[in-house]
Amino acid sequence: MDFKNKIILAPLAGVNNIAFRKICTDYGADIVYSPMIDARAMLMGNRKLFDFYDEKNLVVQFFGNDAEIIAQCAKLIEDKARAVDLNLGCPHSDVVKRKCGSYLMRYPKKISSIIKGLVRAVDLPVTVKIRAGYDRSHINAVKIAKLCEKEGITAIAVHGRARTVNYQHPVDYSIIKKVKEAVDVPVIGNGDIFSGEDAKRMFDSTGCDSVMIARGAMGNPFVFDEVKDYLKGRKSRNPSKKRMFSRFLVYCKRYNVEFKDIKAHAQWFTKGMKGGSRYRQLMNNAKSVDDLKEVYSGI
């Protein structure tokens, strides 16, 4: 799997079900990540985590802190994924309390052992996703990136904020740029990409090889084609949110996506839409897909 010159869907917990990954691919995502998967839960037999089909552009991301368990999980999905990713960036308190995600940014030796195990376990590219650091006093993305490269990773995604920095603060491009200058593997820039202009700014400010879109894709899977059009100087013909949602529903039916997940996406699709708040309120009472369709019929 080539990680250069790509527009990528970030791993989004509670968002990246199979239907969403499919529609993002339809609308230009070159690579799509699974939501982060609890390696320990997967190994204990949580079958809901096996939401993988014949996806030619799928990277499966795991979080955990046990090298052997993560390696075993990677073997289980080796025939379903095109690459395996280690989550070193999740800032959520419940994940950090379990000594996973961005917690590991403080423990280079632990990271090294996990990556070694992954690289040995599977015949797939192994990637990592990191943050600028654990907190503002420990900005060590460059150190971690160099360590990961030494252990054999294929690419590294960098979110330009430390774990303790919230989204009200702008992404720090300088951190991503420093990582790019320090390693030879492809670097994927992540953070605050909602448009083609944002993506160009990320490329120009950091020199990164690819960009990864997270929140900017929620409710707007067309953002990937929009970015590509902008970068190539083409005018985008944005499909309506109603049309995108209808296409999303086709995949939901095909892959038996749970209603609660469909409902969440139905509400995200109204983001930025005139009257969106009212539509979301109406959807709060929806009990079925038909109820959601009825709301959309009035859009």
Question: How many Å apart are CA 198 and CA 237, to the nearest integer?
Answer: 18
Q: What is the pLDDT of residue 141?
A: 98
152 C-beta neighbours (distance < 10 Å), count: 14
Q: Which of 41-55, 107-121, 262-276 has the lowest mean pLDDT?
A: 41-55
* Res. 27: pLDDT tops 90: yes
* Res. 49: pLDDT tops 70: no
- Active site members: 90
Q: What is the pLDDT of residue 298?
A: 86
pLDDT digits (tens, 9 = 90+) for 118-156: 999 999 999 999 999 999 999 999 999 999 999 999 999
Considering the domain 7-231 in this protein, what is its CATH number? 3.20.20.70
* Res. 65: pLDDT tops 70: yes
Prediction pTM value: 0.95
Mean pLDDT of 273-287: 93
- Which class for 22: exposed (0-12), middle (13-18), buried (19 or more C-beta within 10 A)? buried
pLDDT digits (tens, 9 = 90+) for 150-184: 999 999 999 999 999 988 899 999 999 999 999 99
Domain locations in the chain? 7-231, 241-297
